[in-house]
Amino acid sequence: MEIPKNRFKEAILAGKPQVGIWCSIPDPAMAEMLANTGYDWMMFDTEHSPMDPLNVQPMLQAAAPYDVSCAVRPTGLDPLQIKKFLDAGAQTVMIPYIQTPEEAELAVAAVSYPPDGMRGVAGVMRASRWGAVADYGRKARDEICLILQIETKEAVDRLEEIAAVPGVDAIFVGPADMAASLGYIGQNGHPEVRKACADAIRRIRAAGKPAGFLSPDDSLLEEMVDAGSVFTAVDLDVTILRRGALARAKAWKDKLGG
């Protein structure tokens, strides 16, 4: 059996725009429903949700039959946790809060088998199709997409050094922590935050890497896409649910005079 191709990695390296959705509801049924709504990629976010490897594997399985690529964001730069997500079958991982080239090098090592890295070797797990993929260990890294998340002024100051680390496939700009880093916490749309994010995206592209971004704010999204964002998450499952629920409740209360 051949290793599954990472279509998301192939697409972003070719500069093909990919529209994504951020997922933090730890439920396989929700993952399966969203997998069939037309997004190119889904991010299962364990940094800011209750999700862990036990939740994520069934969500990856639920989404697998559909025409969508799945990514996972670990809680941080933890090689032991990253290993679990890779063994569960995640082929794209986004490591948050990368600050230095040394941290980028550790992230690369975490997704690579020896002698190039430090990923622990297991023979029978979902990633190898329970041992059915011939020579999984030799082929795995080719289909793993490593995204590093840049989200502070300090990281942006060293962006080119981070992007130059061999094995880094793409870089994602995080607006919320960027806003906090610049002194504008909760103000993702502040002009200074917009400028910092757009400049970072342009520099990422100039360094030869695909750039990514997340926001439910269409005007902010359009600005970042214009700056060069290739893989762009345009909403979050919880915000879609809350926005829809609020709108329906208001519409019917207004209609009924409630």
Q: Which residues are catalytic?
A: 48
Strand pairing class (145-150; 92-95): parallel
- CB atoms under 10 Å from CB of 158, counted, come to 16
Picking from 128, 167, 120, 164, the residue whose alpha carbon sits closest to that of residue 147 is 167
Token pair in block for residue 180: 């906090």
Query: Which residues, including other chains, have CB under 8 Å from residue 87's CB and lie 6 or more apart?
Result: 122, 125, 126, 127
Contact between residue 94 and residue 73 where contact means Cβ atoms under 8 Å apart: yes
Give the three-state DSSP class for 218. Answer: helix
